[in-house]
Structure 1
Amino acid sequence: MSSLPATSGLISVLGFGYDNNKKDHRVVKISYSRFDNNKGFNPLVEVYSVWERIWKTIPADYLADNSISSVSFSHCFLNGVIHWLAFETGPFNYVAKWVLLFNVVEETFQKMELPEAIVKMLTTCTGTPDLFEYKTKLSLLHCEDFECHMSTFAKCQIWVKEEEESCWCMILNITVDDDHYLLSQVAYLDKDGKLFGFYRKSDRVMVLYDVSKRQFIELGFHYSYDASSKFASFTDSLVLLDQDTTDLTKMMHSKCTSTHLQLEMN
C-alpha cells in the first residue's frame, strides 16, 4: 500500500468509507495548519482508493475557514457519507457548530448545521462529543464529568438526527449515580444502543448502559487503567492490502464488505 502523503507542520484527520458503486474502500485525509490564524486557507484533502492503490488530491474550496474538531477527531460512516464534527477556523474557536459530510461516491463535501440546543450544550459543558451510528441514524454522544460533594458523577446525552432537515431529538439524558464511574474518554455507543465506558466503583467491573432498557449490564471483566484504551466496534471481514490489484478482483466484488480498514503507514 502507498504511504500516507507527507504533511509536515499540519494536523491530519482521517475518515474511512466504502464506495458501494465501485466496490472500493476509501481513505479520506484532511490536513490543516497547526496554527489558529489559518483562516482563509484551504486544507489539503486527499483520497486513497484501495482498488486503484493511489492517492489523489481533490478540491477543498468548500472547506475554507472550516476545521474538524480536534477534541476527538471522531467520524461516522453512514449511508455512503463520512461525517465529522466541525467548527469555524479562528483563535479560541473550538466549539463544533456543524457536521461536515463527505460523499464517498461523488467525492463532494457538504455542511449540516447543528441545532442551537446542541451548540449551547457543547459551549457551556466540558467533555468530548462523538458521532456514532444509532439504529441506522446519525447520533451525537456527549459525556461530561463533574464533581459534587467529593464524589465524581457524569452526565450523558444522546442526540439522534431525524429524517427532517436540521431536526435532532434527545433520546437520553442521564446523570450517572455514585455507584458507577464513566470513562468519558473511552465512551462508545454501538448501533443497537449499548453505551460502553462504565465501571462499577465497588469492584471495578466494566458495565454497559442499555439505552432501551435503561439499565446497567455487566460485561464480565475488570477495568485496568490504560491511557490508550478505547471501545470500538468489530466487523468480521478481510481486505488484503498486500496483494496485486488483479488478485483483489473477486474479493472486491464479493458479498463481503467492511466499514473498517487496517492501514500500513510507512
Structure 2
Amino acid sequence: MSDLPEEVLFDIFARLPVKTALQIRCVCKLWLSLISNPVFITAHINRTTQPQSETLLIRHFAEKERHQNEHYSLHDFHQTVGGHVLKLEFPFKTWSRYHFSIVSSYNGVLCLSDHNGASANGVILWNPSIRKYISLPRPRVTRSTHGSYMFVLGFGFDVKSNDYKVVRVAYVKGRNGRDLIPPEVEVYGLSSKCWRSFAAGAPPYGIYGYTWSQAFVNGAVHWIGYDPCVANGDCSLIVSFDMGDEVFKGVKLPDCLVKCGYDLAVSKYEELLSVMQMVYHSKRARCCVWVMKEYGVEDSWTKLYTVDLQDGLHKVLGFWKNKEVLTVTVRGKLVSYDPNSGRMRSMGLRGAIDSFYADNYIESLVLVDGESIVLGADAITCGGGEEDGETLHLTGFKNRMGCVTVNGAAGFEPLSLLAGLRLKLWKNVLVLVEN
C-alpha cells in the first residue's frame, strides 16, 4: 500500500470505521499526517455517517450522585429491537457545586461547560468515541477582570473554514444590576486554539441566561433573547450567530410567543429551527412545538403539535427518530412519546429530572490530536470502544495473535522498523503482521 498515490489512500481510509482509521494512523508518518488532516476528518464524517442517526447519546445521574458521577451512554436502536447500550467513561470532575452543562454536540464532539469562573478548565471539547479532549484556555472576560457577569455559550461548525468554534457571549452587570448591552463576545477556533475578542459587531440584544439553551441550525447558533429597546425588555426573539460570517442577527418569533421569553427553549427538529413553549394552566402543563419550515423566513413559523404533560410526564428534552419526543417523567424516568398515537416507550433509564441530556450521535475522528484519556496503565487504546464484546487494546494484539503492533509514545514508529510487515484484516480491524 506504500506505493499507492496519496489521493487513493485518502479515498480508501475515508471509508474505514473510526476505530480502524485511528489504529492505522499509527503505521507511519504519512498515514498519521493524512488521517489527522482536518480535510480528511470532514471527508470521513461525510462518507461514513448516515443522514438519520439512530444512535442516541444520553447523560443522566441520580440525585445523590449530583456532585460525583455523571453517566454517559450510547444507545443504538438500529442493531437490535431493544437497542444496544455502550457505557462511556466520563473522566472529568466538576469544580462547581452542581454538574457539567452540555452546551451542544456536533459530529461526535461534546462541548461541556463547568460554569465556574475560577476553573481554568471551564470549557471542554470532548470526543468520547476516541477518548480525546481539549480544555479551552481561560477567556478574557472573567469575574476577576470584569466583576459580576453572566454568559452563554454556543458550539458549532464553520463550513467555510472547516473549523469547529465556540462562541462566548458575556453580559457584564451594570450598577443597577442589569446586564450591560452590547455584551462582550469571544470566539474560540479549534484550528487556532485561542479566543478572539470582537472589537465590533456584538448583538444589540440580551439573551436569557437562566437555563439557556442553544441550537445549531443552518450553520448558525441560536438562543432565546430579548430586545432591550422595548419597555421592560418584554419582546422575545431568537438571537443567532453565523459561525462562518461571524455575524449576529435577530430572528422574529410568532406574535403569540414574543412575551413568553422565560417559557421558551430553542431546539432543532430534524434539520429545522424549532422552539418549544411551556404553557402552564391551572394544574396542567403542556409543551407547544413550533418549527420554522423555511429557514430565515419568519412567516414560515408553524405550530407542529402540542404535548400534554399529563400521565406523569414532566418535561420535554427534544426529538427522536420517526418524530417521537423524548420526555422525562415526574419520577425521573426517560421515555419516548409518540404525539400522534399517545404511545409511551421506556428508554430504560432513571435519574434526577434535571440530569437528562439526549441528542443524536455519530462517531468521528474530530479532536484526534487532542489530549488522550488513559483509563489505566494497561488500557492504552487506539480508538477505544468495543469490537465483538472485547475492548481493543493495542498491547493485546501482540499477546494473542503474535502480531507486531505499534505502541510508541508519539503514536507511530520510524519507517525502518516497519520493514517486512504487511497489513491484514482481522475482525474488521487492520493490524500489522510479519511476512
TM over 0.5: yes
2:238: which partner in 1?
99
2:334: which partner in 1?
206
Q: 1:55 aligns with which of 181, 186, 195?
A: 195
Q: What is the one-letter code of the residue matched to 2:247?
A: T
The alignment status of 1:216 with 2:350, answered yes or no, reads: no
Identity value in percent: 24
Q: Given that residues 69 and 96 in structure 1 are in contact (C-alpha distance below 8 angstroms), is that contact kept between their aligned partners in structure 2?
A: no
Q: Given that residues 84 and 101 in structure 1 are in contact (C-alpha distance below 8 angstroms), is that contact kept between their aligned partners in structure 2?
A: yes
Offset at residue 104 of structure 1 (A): 0.5
The alignment status of 1:16 with 2:16, answered yes or no, reads: no
Q: 2:289 aligns with which of 158, 168, 192?
A: 158
SS in structure 1 of the partner of residue 355 of structure 2: coil
Unmatched runs of 5 consecutive residues or more in structure 2:
1-134, 372-435
2:138: which partner in 1?
4
Offset at residue 10 of structure 1 (A): 1.4
Q: What is the one-letter code of the residue matched to 2:308?
A: T
Q: How far apart, in 2, do the equivalents of 1:232 and 1:197 lie?
A: 10
Deviations 1:174-212 (A, max 9, x none): 4333x2231x3xx311264332223387xx75322224x
Q: How far apart, in 2, do the equivalents of 1:74 and 1:62 lie?
A: 19
1:250: which partner in 2?
none
Q: What is the one-letter code of the residue matched to 1:233?
A: D
Count of aligned pairs between the two proteins: 227
User: 1 or 2, which has the higher strand percentage?
Assistant: 1
SS in structure 1 of the partner of residue 335 of structure 2: strand
Q: Given that residues 325 and 336 in structure 2 are in contact (C-alpha distance below 8 angstroms), is that contact kept between their aligned partners in structure 1?
A: yes
Q: Given that residues 17 and 26 in structure 1 are in contact (C-alpha distance below 8 angstroms), is that contact kept between their aligned partners in structure 2?
A: yes
The structure-2 alpha-carbon separation of the partners of 1:95 and 1:216, relative to structure 1 and needing over 3 Å to count, comes to farther
What does 1:1-266 align with in structure 2 at a 5 Å threshold?
A: 1-5=135-139, 6-8=141-143, 9-35=148-174, 38=178, 41-64=181-204, 66-89=205-228, 93=232, 97-120=236-259, 122=260, 128-145=263-280, 147-148=282-283, 153-163=284-294, 165-167=297-299, 168-177=301-310, 179-182=311-314, 184=315, 187-190=316-319, 192=321, 193-199=323-329, 205-211=333-339, 213-221=340-348, 223-224=350-351, 226=352, 228-236=354-362, 237-240=364-367, 243=370
Unmatched runs of 5 consecutive residues or more in structure 1:
245-266
Q: How far apart, in 2, do the equivalents of 1:59 and 1:241 lie?
A: 32
Q: How far apart, in 2, do the equivalents of 1:230 and 1:93 lie?
A: 33
User: 1 or 2, which has the higher helix percentage?
Assistant: 2
Pick 1 or 2: higher relative contact order, CA cutoff 8 A, min separation 6: 2
Offset at residue 40 of structure 1 (A): 6.3
Q: How far apart, in 2, do the equivalents of 1:45 and 1:55 lie?
A: 10
Q: Given that residues 207 and 225 in structure 2 are in contact (C-alpha distance below 8 angstroms), is that contact kept between their aligned partners in structure 1?
A: yes
Q: Given that residues 86 and 100 in structure 1 are in contact (C-alpha distance below 8 angstroms), is that contact kept between their aligned partners in structure 2?
A: yes
Q: How far apart, in 2, do the equivalents of 1:70 and 1:94 lie?
A: 14
